[in-house]
C-alpha cells in the first residue's frame, strides 16, 4: 500500500482528444504497463468537484457522503467494479487530516482492478475525451497533471464516430472534430510543457517509437508488454464472450481493434467509405484547420448548403458546449434534480438521453 506522501506525489496523466481517435487504444497500452493504473471512462472528478474540492476537514460522515455521491455517477457505478465497503476501508486507512479531494480521487483510481499484472503504481492514466473541455479545472485539482492530446485524420474520425455513435449528420461530426481540437490547442498556449501531441497515424505505424516517447514524457519505464496488450485482452474477450453479451457486443462494434496487435488497418478507410459529396462537405468545414496537423483536404468546393450546414452545426456545437459547462459547474443538488427529472421523462415517455443510457443498457434503471 502506498504511503500518503507517495499518493500525494503520484502523477496523473489525462488522455484527451476527440472520441474515436485512438484514446482507448492508448489507454490499453498504458494499462499493460505494470507501473500504471487506468480505469474505464467516468467524469467522477467533475461530478464531485463542485461539492468536495475545497473541503478541508474530512471525517467518517463526510467520507460516507463522498462515496454515496461518487456512486451516483452511473458509468462509475456500473463499469468500475469497485466495492463501496472496500473503498471506504481503503480511504479510512489514512489519517483524516491527510486527506484532500485530490488524494481521494487518486485513491478511487487505486481501488480499481486491472487484467494486467501490477507492481508498485508510479502513474495514474485517465482516458476521457470529454475532459478536453475541462483542462483548467483538472489542472486546478492536480497542479502537476500532464495531458496527452491524440489527433486522428478528421475523415477517418468522422466515419468511426458515425458508426459508433449512430450520428448521421456529417456536418455535426466535422464541426465537433474541429472545435474540440481548437479548444485543446488554446489551452496548450497557456500551459506549455505539459502536453504531448500525438497523431493516431504515427502511433499505429511506429508504435514502439512513440510509446517509448510517451514513457519518457510520463516518467515511467517502457515495458515490452505495453505493445503485447492484445495477448491479454483477447484472452479476456474469449473468456467473457458467452458470459457478458453487452460488453462483448461493445467490443465487437467499437473496440475490436483492441484484440489485435497495434496496426494501421483503420488508416485511410475514408477513401472507400465516404462519397465525393460527403468528402466535399467535410473538407469545407474542417479541411483548412486540419492542415495544421498535416491532414490535407482533397476537395475545395464551396456550396450554399455547405455554408448553411456549417453555421447550423457550429450553432448546435456552441449550445451543447454551453449546456455541458453549465451542468458540471452547477451545484450537485441541482444536477441530482436534473437527473431525476430526466429519469422521470424516460419512464413516462420513453425518452432516452445520456443521464439514463448506461443504466438502461445494463437494465438497472
In this predicted structure, the answer to whether residue 171 has a pLDDT above a threshold of 80 is yes
- DSSP class per residue in 116-151: S---S--EEEEE-GGGGGGHHHHHHHSTT-EEEEEE
- Phi, psi at residue 67, to the nearest 5°? -65, -40
pLDDT tens, residue by residue, 102-147: 999 999 999 999 999 999 999 999 999 999 999 999 999 999 999 9
In this predicted structure, the answer to whether residue 284 has a pLDDT above a threshold of 90 is yes
User: Three-state SS for 172?
Assistant: helix
As a whole number of Å, the end-to-end CA separation of the chain is 36
Q: Say how far apart CA 316 and CA 309 lie, in whole Å.
A: 10
In this predicted structure, the answer to whether residue 350 has a pLDDT above a threshold of 80 is no
What pLDDT score does 261 carry?
Answer: 93
In this predicted structure, the answer to whether residue 246 has a pLDDT above a threshold of 70 is no
Residues 6+ apart with CB under 8 A from 12: 106, 109, 123, 124, 125, 126, 142, 144, 145, 146
In this predicted structure, the answer to whether residue 250 has a pLDDT above a threshold of 50 is no
In this predicted structure, the answer to whether residue 271 has a pLDDT above a threshold of 80 is yes
In this predicted structure, the answer to whether residue 363 has a pLDDT above a threshold of 50 is no
Q: Provide mean pLDDT across the span 212-230.
A: 97
pLDDT tens, residue by residue, 11-22: 999 999 999 999
What pLDDT score does 239 carry?
Answer: 64
Instruction: Kindly indicate the confidence band of residue 95, based on its pLDDT and cuts at 50, 70 and 90.
Output: very high
Domains of the chain from N-terminus onward:
4-39+112-315 (3.40.50.300), 330-365 (no CATH)
In the DSSP assignment, the letter for residue 265 is: T
Residue 275 burial (C-beta neighbours within 10 Å; 0-12, 13-18, 19+): exposed
pLDDT tens, residue by residue, 285-298: 999 999 999 999 99
Q: Which three cell numbers stand for residue 67?
A: 462515496
Amino acid at each position: 500500500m502506498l504511503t500518503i506522501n507517495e499518493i500525494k506525489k503520484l502523477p496523473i496523466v489525462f488522455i484527451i482528444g476527440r472520441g474515436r481517435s485512438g484514446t482507448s487504444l492508448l489507454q490499453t497500452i498504458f494499462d499493460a504497463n505494470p507501473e500504471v493504473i487506468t480505469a474505464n471512462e467516468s467524469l467522477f472528478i467533475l461530478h464531485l468537484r463542485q461539492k468536495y474540492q475545497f473541503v478541508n476537514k474530512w471525517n467518517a460522515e463526510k467520507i460516507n457522503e463522498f462515496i454515496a455521491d461518487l456512486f451516483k455517477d452511473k458509468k462509475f457505478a456500473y463499469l468500475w467494479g469497485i466495492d463501496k465497503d472496500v473503498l471506504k476501508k481503503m480511504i479510512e486507512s489514512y489519517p483524516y487530516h491527510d486527506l484532500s479531494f485530490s488524494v481521494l480521487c487518486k485513491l478511487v483510481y487505486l481501488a480499481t482492478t486491472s487484467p494486467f499484472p501490477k507492481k508498485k503504481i508510479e502513474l495514474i492514466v485517465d482516458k476521457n475525451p470529454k475532459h478536453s473541455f475541462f483542462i483548467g479545472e483538472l489542472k486546478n485539482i492536480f497542479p502537476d497533471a500532464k495531458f496527452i492530446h491524440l489527433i486522428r485524420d478528421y475523415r477517418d474520425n468522422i466515419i468511426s464516430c458515425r458508426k459508433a455513435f449512430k450520428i448521421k449528420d456529417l456536418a455535426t461530426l466535422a464541426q465537433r472534430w474541429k472545435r474540440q481540437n481548437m479548444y485543446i490547442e488554446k489551452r496548450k498556449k497557456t500551459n506549455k510543457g505539459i502536453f504531448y501531441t500525438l497523431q493516431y497515424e504515427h502511433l499505429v505505424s511506429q508504435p514502439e517509437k512513440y510509446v517509448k516517447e510517451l514513457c519518457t514524457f510520463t516518467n515511467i519505464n517502457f515495458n515490452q508488454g505495453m505493445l503485447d496488450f492484445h495477448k491479454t485482452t483477447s484472452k479476456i474477450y474469449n473468456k467473457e464472450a458467452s458470459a457478458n453479451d453487452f460488453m462483448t457486443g461493445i467490443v465487437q462494434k467499437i473496440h475490436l481493434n483492441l484484440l489485435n496487435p497495434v496496426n494501421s488497418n483503420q488508416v485511410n478507410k475514408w477513401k472507400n467509405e465516404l462519397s465525393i459529396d460527403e468528402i466535399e462537405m467535410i473538407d469545407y468545414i474542417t479541411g483548412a484547420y486540419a492542415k495544421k496537423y498535416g491532414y490535407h483536404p482533397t476537395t475545395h468546393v464551396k456550396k450554399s448548403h455547405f455554408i448553411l450546414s456549417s453555421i447550423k452545426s457550429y450553432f448546435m456545437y456552441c449550445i451543447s458546449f454551453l449546456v455541458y459547462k453549465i451542468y458540471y459547474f452547477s451545484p450537485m443538488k441541482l444536477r441530482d434534480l436534473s437527473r431525476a427529472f430526466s429519469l422521470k421523462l424516460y419512464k413516462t415517455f420513453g425518452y432516452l438521453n445520456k443521464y439514463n443510457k448506461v443504466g438502461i443498457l445494463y437494465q438497472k434503471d
